[in-house]
Amino acid sequence: MRYAPLAPELFVENRRRFRELLPPASLAIFQSNDVMPTNADGTMAFRQNNDLFYLSGVDQEESILVIFPDARLPQHREILFLKETSEHILIWEGYKLTKDEARENSGIKTIMWLDSFKSVLPALMNEAENVYLNSNEHIRAVVEVETRDARFVKMLQSQYPLHNYRRASRLLHQLRAIKSPEEIRVMRQACDITGKAFRRLLGFVKPGVWEFEIEAEIVHEFMRNRSRGPAYGSIVASGKNANVLHYTTNDNQCQDGDVILLDFGAEYANYAADLSRSIPVNGKFTLRQRQVYDSVLAVMAFAKTRLVAGTEIEEYHRLVGECMEQELIKLDLLNASDVKNQDPAAPLYKKYFMHGTSHYLGLDVHDVGYKYRVFEPGMVYTIEPGIYIPAEGLGIRLENDILITPGGNEDLMADIPLQADTIEDLMAAGR
């Protein structure tokens, strides 16, 4: 792994919190993600299942985690099964964790090789009444391939049909929404790397560069700072492309006079950062571009005052929407009278700001957690208002990552340039 090892106490504590949510006689089993194929004998880069990583810190394929607090044998209460290495694997795939390394990284005492799982499983199932199994239950997930989790669920239920099967994801969503100090430290690192990449771009962007060249600069800065790479597909959208919310083709040439909407974030130790900035290709905003930019910035500042403990997300989005309405009126994009008489179920501002203002952030960019849970200290959310005007070939979005604290919130990206004047000054200095 490229990143510095995380403290094993993080995973010990995560498992402790998870155990507290289990009823008596409950067994939980977590699978690593599959190594996904491309074509012929090719494979994609491996990305660990976030729930297994959250509970174990193991970043290796073909791993299984068992948590069984009431197991009769103490050595069965936490078991980590790993792929055993061999001379062939070492030559063709590379290094794999030893048992001692897995113990050190995870804090789990009982480490077994994967081929022992089938022989240990019957004893575990014989003692268990409830069996917690995992699945991807993100409300926006579109799962079109059969996952390792899904195959295991079918296998286990066919062999042991009389157990009480339950959903581990509901418990993990509850836990992962609140970040520990170690998780926040790692997310700060991801934000710091992202900020370095953005500053690099301010000295690189100029008329005539290609969007993919900008993307290459981002990836270069990420990887030289021990990041695996982008936490999601980087958006480098110049001119009219900024009006495509998930534009990732990044294959256009940047023109003098256009604004580039950048949406990217580093992944560090499997945790994500998520940044959006909008910068002028030639280093100077036009009057109209600056007006729109300042309106988005004003909505962002307002949203930050409302992203605090005790607020409900529906109320939060309603208030942010009202702020956006006023900014759009100032920009002559909406009429005050029309806004006053609008259908509350279909607010007019959605024509120019059609996505949500905030989402959970953590091991996933759109991290798991109950959507309607009241904001609590320890949650990390994005704030990302935007105004998109296809008729003007202009789209501007600004986004920072915010930690909710007992006394308000903390901007984890406060050191990354945001004000339009600052961006223009830094772009001028880099030329």
How much of the chain exceeds pLDDT 90, in percent?
Answer: 92
Task: Tell me whether residue 384 is one of the annotated catalytic residues.
Answer: yes
Q: Which of 93, 355, 376, 415 is catalytic?
A: 355
Task: Tell me whether residue 93 is one of the annotated catalytic residues.
Answer: no
* Domains in the chain: boundaries: 8-176, 181-429
- In the chain, the amino acid numbered 233 is G
Where does 8-176 sit in CATH, by number? 3.40.350.10
Query: How is residue 317 written in tokens?
Result: 């989005």
Q: Which of 3, 247, 268, 388 is catalytic?
A: 388
Task: Tell me whether residue 88 is one of the annotated catalytic residues.
Answer: no
Q: pLDDT tens, 74-87? A: 999 999 999 988 78
Q: pLDDT tens, 35-71? A: 999 999 899 999 999 999 999 999 999 999 999 999 9
Q: Which of 59, 183, 217, 384 is catalytic?
A: 384
Task: Tell me whether residue 359 is one of the annotated catalytic residues.
Answer: yes
Looking from the CA of 176 toward its CB, the CA atoms found within 13 Å total 26
Q: What angle do CA 171, 176, 182 make, to 5 degrees?
A: 140
At the second CATH level, the architecture of 181-429 is Alpha-Beta Complex (3.90)
In this prediction, residues 208-225 reach a mean pLDDT of 98
CB 3 within 8 A of CB 36: no
Q: Which of 41, 100, 144, 343 is catalytic?
A: 41
Task: Tell me whether residue 163 is one of the annotated catalytic residues.
Answer: no
pLDDT band (50, 70, 90) for residue 141 = confident
Phi then psi for 398, rounded to 5 degrees?
A: -125, 140
Q: Which of 61, 327, 364, 399 is catalytic?
A: 399
Task: Tell me whether residue 294 is one of the annotated catalytic residues.
Answer: no
Q: Which of 51, 274, 367, 424 is catalytic?
A: 274
Task: Tell me whether residue 366 is one of the annotated catalytic residues.
Answer: yes
Looking from the CA of 222 toward its CB, the CA atoms found within 13 Å total 24
Task: Tell me whether residue 399 is one of the annotated catalytic residues.
Answer: yes
Task: Tell me whether residue 41 is one of the annotated catalytic residues.
Answer: yes
